[in-house]
Amino acid sequence: MSGTGDAARRHDAVRIIEAKRDGRELDDDEVDWIVDGFTRGTVVAEQMSALAMAIYFRGMSDREISRWTAAMVRSGSRLDLTGLSRGGRAVPTVDKHSTGGVGDAITLVLTPLLATWDVAVPQLSGRGLGHTGGTLDKLEAIPGWRAELSGDEMRRIMSDSGAVICAAGADLAPADRALYALRDVTGTVPSIPMIAASIMSKKIAEGTGALVLDVKFGSGAFMTSRTDAEELARVMVGIGTAAGVRTSALVTAMHTPLGRAVGNAVEVAECLEILGGGGPADMVDLTCALAEVALAAVGISDDPRARLSDGRAMDSYRTMISVQGGDPDAELPRAANVEQVRAPAAGRITWDALGVGRASWLAGAGRSAPGEAVDHAAGVLLHRVEGDEVRAGEVIASVYAGDAGRIASALGELGAALDFSDPGFAPARGPAGAVVRRLRGW
C-alpha cells in the first residue's frame, strides 16, 4: 500500500485538497495515500473534512470513485467466503443492499427466500437513524436474536442454513466509518461519489460474489430525485463490476411507504405474513423482483413466488432466526398504547412516505443519535394505503407507542402526511417499490 517511501515524499494532504478544490482528477497514488493516511491518523480530521467538501462540490470521475472505494476496502479486513459449501457442495454467494426507505423490511423476507436455493447470503446490515428503520433493530424485536457474529460464525451459519443477517464488524472498511462521521457533521453526506463508495466498500469487504442493489427515490428515500437515484445506481454498479463483484441494480419508488407497517415488531409481523404466502402486494412484488435479479446473477432461473406460497421460505426464515439465538415462535412486543386515526373526509387516500416515517420515529421506533435505544413495539400500521377510497370516519391507521407521551406528536406528523383527492382520481406515480429502471454490470 502507498503511504510510505516515495509516495509519502511526493504527497501531502494540502496539495491533494487544493488539487480537488481546483477540479483536478486525483491519480491512483494520491487516492491511496490520502485514504491510508486518514486511516492511520497522519491525515487529520480537519484535512479530510476539507477534502470531503471539495469532493462534494467538484465530484469525482468513475475511476477516482472506484479507486477511493478500493482504498477504503483495504483500510480493514475483507471476509473470505470462497469455497463456502452447503451439504458438501460449493455454492455461490449473493447479497442485496437497499439505500433505505419507509416500511422497507424486504431483507427479512428476501434473505431466507434466496437461501432456499443452493446459494449463501451474507447479509451485513445496520441500525436505523431518523425516519428510516434499521434491519437489525427490526430483528432484535425477536426475543433472543443476536446481531453480533464473528467471521467464523457467519461461515458456519451460512454453511448450515444458507442465510445470515448480522452486524458488520468494526474491521470492515474502517476508513469509511471514520469518514462518514466527518461527513455527517460537515454537511457533505449528500455526495453521490462518497455515498456510492461508502455503500460499496462495505459490500465488497464482506466478500460476496454477486450483489443486487435497491436504489430508492422519493420523499421517504435518501435520494429524493429519480435522476440522482439512477446516477447513484449507475456509479455503484460500475464500482462493483470493477471490483469483480457481479452487480446489478433496481431503481424503485419510495414516495409512499412500502407495505403497511412502519416500525420494528410491526414490520416483522408483516414479513411473517409474506413468508406465509400473503402480505401486501407491493412488498411481495419487490421481493420477487429482487430475488429474480439476484438469482440470475448466479445463473439460476426460477420463480420466487412459488417458494413464498409453499412454505419453503418460511422454513428457511425459522432456521435463520433459530441459529442466531432467536425464538421464531415467541410473541413479538406489543405496545401499551394504541391510537386509531380516522379519515376526516371521504376520498382517495395518499400517504407521504417521509411523514409516515417520521410519525413512527416520533412514536419511539427510531433514534435521533447512534446508540439510543428504540421501542421495538412502537410504529405505525396503515389500514388504508395510497389509492384506496375511504369513507369519512373510517379507521385508516393506528399508532403504537410504549410511552403515551409520544402519541400526540406522532399523530400530528401522521396527519400532516395524509392527503385526499376526489374519489375518481387515480394516483399517477405508481405503487411503492415499483421498479422504474434496471441496471446490470456484467
At the second CATH level, the architecture of 85-170+183-329+435-440 is 3-Layer(aba) Sandwich (3.40)
How sure is the predictor about 422, in pLDDT bands with cuts at 50, 70 and 90?
low
Stretch 406-426: mean pLDDT:
84
Q: How many C-alpha atoms does 144 have within 13 Å on its Cβ side?
A: 12
- The confidence score (pLDDT) of residue 127 equals 81
Tell me whether residue 176 is one of the annotated catalytic residues: yes
How sure is the predictor about 428, in pLDDT bands with cuts at 50, 70 and 90?
low
- The confidence score (pLDDT) of residue 263 equals 96
Asked if pLDDT for residue 186 goes beyond 60, the answer is yes
- The confidence score (pLDDT) of residue 4 equals 46
Asked if pLDDT for residue 213 goes beyond 50, the answer is yes
Q: In angstroms, how far is CA 272 from the centroid of its own chain?
A: 19
Q: Of 104, 137, 176, 214, which is the active-site residue?
A: 176
Tell me whether residue 96 is one of the annotated catalytic residues: no
Q: Which of 51-65, 162-176, 302-316 has the lowest mean pLDDT?
A: 162-176
Domain covering 337-421, topology: Aldehyde Oxidoreductase; domain 3 (3.90.1170)
Asked if pLDDT for residue 424 goes beyond 70, the answer is no
What whole-number percentage of the chain has pLDDT above 70? Answer: 95
Tell me whether residue 183 is one of the annotated catalytic residues: yes
pLDDT digits 0-9 by tens, 322-365:
999 999 999 999 999 999 999 999 999 999 999 999 999 999 99
- The confidence score (pLDDT) of residue 253 equals 95
How sure is the predictor about 367, in pLDDT bands with cuts at 50, 70 and 90?
confident
Phi, psi (rounded to 5 degrees) for 42: -85, -20
Q: Of 11, 67, 183, 307, which is the active-site residue?
A: 183
Q: Of 11, 67, 74, 97, which is the active-site residue?
A: 97
How sure is the predictor about 126, in pLDDT bands with cuts at 50, 70 and 90?
confident
Segments making up each domain of the chain, as ranges: 5-74, 85-170+183-329+435-440, 337-421
pLDDT digits 0-9 by tens, 35-61:
999 999 999 999 999 999 999 999 999
How sure is the predictor about 209, in pLDDT bands with cuts at 50, 70 and 90?
very high
- The confidence score (pLDDT) of residue 130 equals 65
Q: Of 49, 75, 125, 198, which is the active-site residue?
A: 198
The yes/no answer on whether domain 5-74 falls in CATH 1.20.970.10 is: yes
Phi, psi (rounded to 5 degrees) for 341: -115, 130
Asked if pLDDT for residue 158 goes beyond 50, the answer is yes
Q: Of 131, 138, 155, 202, which is the active-site residue?
A: 202
Stretch 145-151: mean pLDDT:
93
> How buried is 126 (Cβ within 10 angstroms: 0-12 exposed, 13-18 middle, 19+ buried)?
middle
Asked if pLDDT for residue 423 goes beyond 70, the answer is no
User: How much is the mean pLDDT over the chain?
Assistant: 92
Q: What is the 3-state secondary structure (H, E, C) of the chain?
A: CCCCHHHHHHCCHHHHHHHHHCCCCCCHHHHHHHHHHHHHCCCCHHHHHHHHHHHHHHCCCHHHHHHHHHHHHHCCCCCCCCCCEECCEECCEEEEEECCCCCCCHHHHHHHHHCCCCCEEEEEECCCECCECCHHHHHCCCCCCCCCCCHHHHHHHHHHHCEEEEECCCCCCHHHHHHHHHHHHHCCCCCHHHHHHHHHHHHHHCCCCEEEEEEEECCCCCECCHHHHHHHHHHHHHHHHHCCCEEEEEEEECCCCCCCEEECHHHHHHHHHHHCCCCCHHHHHHHHHHHHHHHHHCCCCCCHHHHHHCCHHHHHHHHHHHHCCCCCCCCCCCCCEEEEEECCCCEEEEECHHHHHHHHHHHHHCCCCCCCCCCCCCEEEECCCCCCEECCCCEEEEEEECCHHHHHHHHHHHHHHEEEECCCCCCCCCCCCCEEEEEECC
Longest dimension (CA), the chain: 74
Asked if pLDDT for residue 312 goes beyond 80, the answer is yes
Tell me whether residue 226 is one of the annotated catalytic residues: no
Cell numbers standing for residue 435 = 421498479
